[in-house]
Amino acid sequence: MNILVTGGAGFIGSNFIHYILDRYHDVRIINLDKLTYAGNLANLADVAQKWEGNRYFFVQADIVDQKKVLATLEEYQVDVIVNFAAESHVDRSIDNPYPFVQTNVLGTQNLLECARLVKVKRFIHVSTDEVYGSLSDCGKFCEDTPLAPNSPYAASKASSDLLCRSYYKTYGFPVIITRCSNNYGPYQFPEKLIPLTFLKAINDQPIPVYGNGQNVRDWIFVEDHCYGIELVLQKGEPGKVYNFGGNAEKQNLEVVKTILDFLDKPHSLISFVQDRPGHDFRYAMDFSLAQKELGFSPQVDFKEGISRTITWYQNNLDWIEDVQSGEYLKFMEKWYGKK
């Protein structure tokens, strides 16, 4: 099987490539990535060293580029597409929504059309729980919860989900949508809460926490998310949506304190900053459909997952230094340093 993974140099995409190549010896992965600030081929250095030109191939391209996408699909005789490619940071979408519409909406539409033209057998579109909006203190998102995105990022992902749905309904194209709660684990870019907290803590710097820190997220270890997508590849029904979650609802403040305790750092490093505009209060995922139809359940609890994650960052400080570009530092200062 030949699988095109878009956005494979990013956090979840690179973990998925490791996951699949380690478990399947009859699969070839074609990684198509634009290499934006969050895409890093160092995430796949060991993969390239072991399998480049045999079971792993890299193509630098933008998913909006119809000519390049079509050529890649035809050259590698792609059977399946797993679409991770996306602009994915809420704060950045508030600062400049344009790239989010360009990549997440127009890019997804281009991928769908190119895949339809060459008759790709299965198209997995990786989405997010943020398309559902915000929950109060009770309830969970299920697959038929109405979409109510509250940030430009979430709106762009909801738009791409609806395009995927339309390709199934209109053309009978075999699209499956997955929506997942907050991922964490190795290779996550340091603008996200867990790696940012780690980075600030080890340098004894103030750790920014939005508002009062009581916003709740359900956390899933990235390997469990990869497992869910693997099950969708094997058993997922075209036209359906599958939710994945980690059974680990935590307040943001609780997550930060857990990391500080792991690192034996004082809670006094926590610095409450002005809340994000339109900040969703709570996310929680009902993944009973994935349990029933796919056999999915998260395998890594939060305690184990956070230990594995922080230990990975401690052992890969060179990786963190490599991904901290001038643009990254400038953006972090703008959003977290002056509020």
Say how far apart CA 307 and CA 305 lie, in whole Å.
5
| Residue 52 annotated in active site | no
Indicate which residue of 129, 223, 224, 249 is catalytic: 129
Tell me if 226 sits within 8 A of 17, measured CB to CB: no
| Per annotation, catalytic residue among 132, 153, 167, 336 | 153
Helices (H), the chain: 11-23, 45-51, 66-75, 90-95, 98-100, 108-117, 152-171, 193-202, 222-235, 252-262, 288-294, 302-314, 317-323, 326-332
Say which of 33, 62, 87, 130 is annotated catalytic.
130
What is the separation of C-alpha 323 from the centre of its chain, rounded to a whole number of angstroms? 17
144 is catalytic: no
For residues 216 and 138, what is the distance between their CA atoms, to the nearest angstrom? 11
Tokens read off for 20: 């699949």
Q: Please confirm, yes or no, whether 336 is among the known catalytic residues.
A: no
CA dist 68 and 62 (Å) reads 8
Q: How far apart are CA 108 and CA 161, in angstroms?
A: 9
Nearest CA among 176, 171, 172, 215 for reference residue 193: 215
Residues annotated catalytic, as ranges:
129-130, 153
